[in-house]
Amino acid sequence: MDKVYKKMAQGGLEFIFSSSKINTEKIMLSIQAILTLIILTIAIFLFIFTRLRADLIALMVLLALGISGIVNDKQVFSGFSSSAVMTILGISMVSVALQQTGATNLISKWIFKLGKQNETLVILLVMLASAGLSLFMNNISAVGVLLPAVMSLTRRSRISPARLLMPLAFGTILGGMATLLTTANIIVSGALKDAGLHAFGLLDFFPVGAPVVIVGIIYMLTLGKKLLPGENSKTMTEPPLALNMKLKDLYSLDANLTQMKILDSSPLAGIPINSDLFMRSNINLIAIQSGKILKANPQPTTLLKSGDILLLGNFQADQTALGLARDFTDLSNQVFSDDSHSLAELVLAPHASLLGKTLTEIRFKSKYDLNVLSVWRDGKPISNQIKDLPLRFGDALLVQGSAQNIHRLHDQNDLILLEENPDAVIRPQKQWIAIVITLVTLGFAATNILPVAEIVLLGAVLLMLSGCMGINDVFQSIEWKAIFLIAGMWPLSIAIQQTGLATALISVIIRGFGSISPLLLVTIFLFLAMIFTQLMSGQISAIVLIPLALTASSTMHVSPQAMAMAVALGCSLGFPTPLGHPVNIMVMNPGGYTFKDYLRVGLPLTFLAFATILLGIHFVYGL
């Protein structure tokens, strides 16, 4: 027998096995396959047993594949233009806009309010939110929307990111199993249609996928919770209010705050803040309570009214002459807990042009639109007469104002911003614009009218054009580790396909078809999909396996939908390694996770999900 032809999936793929000819090309292919296997083995060893950064290991893999000639010059860098990388780039930009406009704070506050700092309940809410979103949108998009909200939640609840970010990633993967809208599920459904078979509908995955979601959540709330890493000092940050409270205590701010009520007879009633009378009164106004409205760092044109309560810093004027009376309502906690206003500490840069000048000479208030509440000098705060105090090198300034004005100090050469509230809402006026653009973007992404990466990048550009975020902030906030990890490992998946490693194992199984039972055949392809997903992306695994699965189903007279379901859901079993799914990589750095963490937490979940999928396919398709 010179050649044996096996046609896969009604002509979709064709494999040729030769028994009489062994040419040079086949020998070279075999050598390349061995080299690829060696590189893969070394990479796995480095991921598990070394302290090298995952993105550095990925770049080493990329270089090894390129220098050895296993992949060509174009393929070695193809990961940087892959749809997964572009989608992560775009959704990272969208996440910045949602954070800077305060949209993610809404989600964070909602979960925090319901969770009540109960870790188990918070994990449940995070997983329900992530699984729910992934039912209707791309998994990467779901994590991109929720990641900044969950990071804010970790600061509010004082729960380590290591305890919440893996449940976030796993929740999205689990939710994607219950819907058609996951990429691997769409691929196998399209293959069924192309083969002239009944394709999957939107809800066809739900009977099998929904029990997997339930089992996965129960696992993460019980055994999985115990296996999660503990508090990671490298990722733990202070809660949003802690920075304000710390600075208040450090500078003894409460002792220098005064609240005054404007009386009916006050000459200040009816005049704006920027009037000559108010300016001459040497009043450091921090906030105004007018009726039920609290205005922190009010605009210069704001009119003062009788009955208004003024929160003042370092007040030393004649209150009788100004028609003011002491008020004992505590406004400071409300002002300093405002998401869009904050305290900040600045130091004078060496050789700053401000050295030797007073705050009055600098016109600090009008120039930066910030209130200076105190000056730290010689190990203690100075609060009296600070407007006429010449500044010198080593001074630190305690300032109060809008988060947007504080954020702008990053562009100043004279002042160095020591700390900034990571949850500060820099552009609160753009919140609903950001929400609408994001919802429209995700809505179009779910329809698959255009590639998800293009739609998400378009949404990111619209958010920048609408002023919801600054481009400099975008590039500072992108998770570059995830980008280089995916791009670096991308050529490895190409090599696994091109060298024949991907088909070698499958061809052996195809040749060995005999008295194998339908359920065991489904089990084999589910297992192959799970293994291939750890080595290649779920999308590529689905493309490689689905024609083989359809051929096997025809040969063994097994439901093609059952085989396709096994392949699709097996491609979502990316829990044991960070390489199993891009969302695992997205949370790896902020969560402080290692390869071992994913293996420890993800492997039991994989076994449970595997068994649940098999049971679901058995009962739904009668195998």
Check if the beta carbon of residue 499 is closer than 8 Å to that of residue 31. no
Q: Is 507 helix (H, G, I), strand (E, B) or coil?
A: helix
Pick from 544, 533, 531, 562: nearest CA to 8 = 544
Alpha helices in 466-517 (DSSP H): 471-477, 480-498, 501-511
Distance between CA 524 and CA 518 in Å, rounded? 10
Q: Which of 10-19, 66-75, 396-405, 567-576 has the lowest mean pLDDT?
A: 10-19
**pLDDT confidence of residue 507:** 65
- Rounded Cα distance between 367 and 365, Å, is 6
User: Predicted confidence band at 16 (pLDDT cuts at 50, 70, 90)?
Assistant: very low
Question: Above pLDDT 70, what percent of the chain?
Answer: 85
What one-character-per-residue DSSP string does 562-612 give? HHHHHHHHHTT---SSGGG-HHHHHHHHHHT--HHHHHHHHHHHHHHHHHH
- pLDDT, residue 243, reads 63
Instruction: Read off the pLDDT of each residue in 227-243 and give the average, rounded to a whole number.
Output: 63
To the nearest 5 percent, what fractions of the chain are helix, strand and coil? 60, 10, 30
pLDDT at 326: 84
Query: Is residue 478 predicted with pLDDT exceeding 60?
Result: yes
Q: Higher pLDDT residue, 340 or 514?
A: 340
Which pLDDT score, from 0 to 100, does residue 25 have? 39
What is the predicted pLDDT for the residue at 402?
79
**Which pairing describes strands 284-290 and 293-296: parallel, antiparallel, or unpaired?**
antiparallel
pLDDT digits (tens, 9 = 90+) for 120-172: 999 999 999 999 888 766 787 788 778 888 888 887 788 889 999 999 999 99
pLDDT of residue 332: 67
Give the model's pLDDT for residue 216.
Answer: 96
- How confident is the model over 334-368, as pLDDT tens digits? 666 566 777 888 888 787 888 888 888 888 887 88
Portion of the chain with pLDDT greater than 90, in percent: 17
- Give the pLDDT of residue 241: 53
Decide if pLDDT at 239 tops 60.
no
| Better pLDDT: 233 or 452 | 452
Count of C-beta atoms within a 10 Å radius of residue 141: 29
Tell which wins on pLDDT, 78 or 122.
122
pLDDT of residue 227: 94
The residue that leads in pLDDT, 31 or 191, is 31
Please tell me which residue, 607 or 104, carries the higher pLDDT value: 607
- Computed over every residue of the chain, the mean pLDDT equals 79
pLDDT at 442 over 80: no
- Residue 149: what pLDDT? 83
Which position has the higher pLDDT, 181 or 520? 520
Mean pLDDT for 387-404 is 82
pLDDT in the model for residue 514: 57
| pLDDT at position 253 over 80 | no
Tell me, what's the pLDDT at 211? 96
pLDDT, average across residues 247-265? 78
Is residue 5 over pLDDT 90? Answer: no
What is the distance between the alpha carbons of residues 469 and 93, in angstroms, rounded to a whole number? 8
* Angstrom distance (rounded) from CA 94 to CA 508: 46
* pLDDT at residue 513, rounded to an integer: 55
What is the distance between the alpha carbons of residues 596 and 601, in angstroms, rounded to a whole number?
A: 9
- Look at residue 22 in the predicted model and tell me its pLDDT: 34
pLDDT of residue 610 exceeding 90, the answer is yes
Q: Which position has the higher pLDDT, 459 or 84?
A: 459
Q: What is the dihedral of CA 421, 423, 426, 429, to 10 degrees?
A: -150
Per-residue confidence band for 503, with pLDDT thresholds at 50, 70 and 90: low
- What separation in angstroms does the CA of 191 have from each of 16, 178, 196, 450, 610? 22, 19, 9, 19, 23
Higher pLDDT, 60 or 293: 60
Residue 97 pLDDT greater than 70, yes or no:
yes
Which distant-in-sequence residues (6+ apart) come within 8 Å of 253 by Cβ? 247, 313, 332, 343, 373, 374, 398
Q: Is the pLDDT of residue 530 over 80?
A: yes
Domains parsed from the chain with CATH numbers: 240-336 (3.30.70.1450), 341-417 (3.30.70.1450)
pLDDT band at 286 (very low <50, low <70, confident <90, very high): confident
Band of pLDDT at residue 18, cut at 50, 70 and 90: very low
> How far is it, in rounded angstroms, from Cα 209 to Cα 272?
62
| pLDDT at residue 207, as a whole number | 93
**18 or 414, which is more confident:** 414
Task: Average the pLDDT over 288-313 and give the result.
Answer: 81
